[in-house]
Amino acid sequence: MTDKPIQPWQRLHPEFKLNGLPIALEALEDVAYSLTKEGEAFEREYGEFLLDWLDQSEDIWVKTSGSTGAPKNWKVKKEHFLASARLTGEVFELFPGRRTLLGIPGSFIAGKMMFVRALVLGLDLLVVRPSKNPLKKTGGRFSFVAMTPYQLSHSLEDISRVETILVGGAPIAKSQVQQLDGHRGRVVASYGMTETLTHVALREVHPKFEPSFQALPGVHFTTDDRDCLCIQADYLGLESLQTEDLVELIDSEHFIWKGRLDRVINSGGIKLFPEQIEDKLDALIPYRYFIGSIEHNHLGRQVVLFIESEEVPVNLLEEIQNLADFEKAEKPKRIHWFSQFEELHSGKVDRLKTQNKTPDQVSELQIQ
């Protein structure tokens, strides 16, 4: 790259470190190439991204997660990556030299953005193999770590070493919030997607709990006639990004997320939000699960609990029947058991394919 002009996205912060070692622009391309050829699978993902990032093109292609439909390629200007990274740095006070941990796959936009933040802000980035507890085999303290709710639940014994944990990819359940009691650090839930280059809104979870998401500076929200969120973010070049997320809009900068429109269950004329039901079940079920529905002659759709497990606990049906904070219509009438769920390329559960798959076992619930 020495015979070509240096582009804005190729200007590394002088304090940037990778795995504790300073690295200059001239060497970064060699490192990226080496990762693609000799690295483990997760390292190859980051190597390929870095090679794309460091070329002369003003744009880069990323793939959406597929959680709201078929995955698609999304063309993004690198200047928007830079703007997003700088804004995150301001919001979370990520000053040069701050130590951060990257333990999520490079196929996720969140993983790509963690790398860009480190390059732009001069962070000391430690990259580890993605696992349910990315902190386990690390030492020392971290200023900033991005995690999924699943990782957070499995990292509780180590999170005392982290100042701020940014949680995304799925909603945080009430039971997870309760598990944070005594933790001295800060935990923040994020709202965003590939198209918004991760978060455009944040919600404090711990030590202070906020029920609503607050827009990042420069972001504004409206809703359409379905009460689905619409996003305006000039720094990302988004004049009006229409989502399928049902929300309670408080004002142009605050909303309460209710669930996905394409997952709403109309059972007997009552609209039910699977994500809200899942939140109530979280403390009860130790397996991977979700709420879906099947056709029903009288109700239209019948609520079904889908569980991934080799075992079928005999007492689970009784425990669900005895839950006090459920509305009658919310209680699942059936459980479909699977030894393995169908998955999207991102690792998230493919709810639609799983619901259309023949279960390994069915349990009927007699809930009055």
Contact (CB, 8 A) for 153 and 173: no
Contact (CB, 8 A) for 335 and 323: no
Contact (CB, 8 A) for 349 and 288: yes
Q: What pLDDT band is residue 367 in, cutting at 50, 70 and 90?
A: very low
What is the reported pLDDT for 368? 45
Instruction: Report how far residue 212's alpha carbon sits from residue 93's, in angstroms, rounded to the nearest whole number.
Output: 22
What's the sign of the alpha-carbon dihedral 168, 173, 179, 180? positive
**Quick one: which of 360, 359, 341 has its CA closest to 351?**
341
Assess whether the region 8-210 and the region 264-364 belong to the same CATH fold: no
What is the reported pLDDT for 2? 54
Residue 178 burial by CB count (10 A; 0-12/13-18/19+): exposed, middle or buried? exposed
Percent of the chain with pLDDT over 90: 70
What is the reported pLDDT for 108? 86
Q: Rounded to 5 degrees, what are φ and ψ at 86?
A: -65, -40
Cis-peptide into 207, omega within 30 deg: yes
- Residue 67 reports pLDDT greater than 60: no
Q: Distances in Å between the alpha carbon of 144 and those of 94, 109, 245?
A: 8, 17, 27
- Residue 115 reports pLDDT greater than 90: yes
For 139-195, the pLDDT digits (tens) are 999 999 999 998 998 999 999 999 999 999 888 988 889 899 989 999 999 999 999
Mean pLDDT over 42-54 rounds to: 94
Mean pLDDT over 63-73 rounds to: 66
For 277-329, the pLDDT digits (tens) are 999 898 888 889 999 999 888 889 999 999 999 887 777 877 887 787 788 88
Instruction: Report the DSSP pairing between strands 162-167 and 186-193.
Output: parallel
The 10 Å Cβ neighbour count of residue 101 is 24
What is the reported pLDDT for 320? 80
What is the reported pLDDT for 1? 52
What radius of gyration do the chain's Cα atoms show? 22
- Residue 35 reports pLDDT greater than 90: yes
The amino acid sitting at 239 is E
Mean pLDDT over 102-118 rounds to: 93
The 10 Å Cβ neighbour count of residue 83 is 19
Helix (H, G, I), strand (E, B) or coil at 50: helix
- Residue 350 reports pLDDT greater than 50: yes
Q: If you classify domain 8-210 with CATH, what class do you get?
A: alpha beta
What is the reported pLDDT for 26? 83
For 190-225, the pLDDT digits (tens) are 999 999 999 999 999 999 999 999 999 999 999 999
Token digits for 278? 């899942």
Contacts 24+ apart (CB under 8 A), 241-248: 241/195, 241/196, 243/193, 244/68, 246/273, 247/221, 247/223
For 232-260, the pLDDT digits (tens) are 999 999 999 999 999 999 999 999 999 99
Q: Distances in Å between the alpha carbon of 98 and those of 13, 20, 200, 221?
A: 13, 11, 22, 32
- Residue 68 reports pLDDT greater than 70: no
**Quick one: which of 156, 144, 160 has its CA closest to 102?**
144
* Domain 264-364: assigned CATH number: 3.30.300.30
Instruction: Report how far residue 289's alpha carbon sits from residue 312's, in angstroms, rounded to the nearest whole number.
Output: 13
Average pLDDT, the chain: 91
Give the start-to-end residue ranges of the domains of the chain.
8-210, 264-364
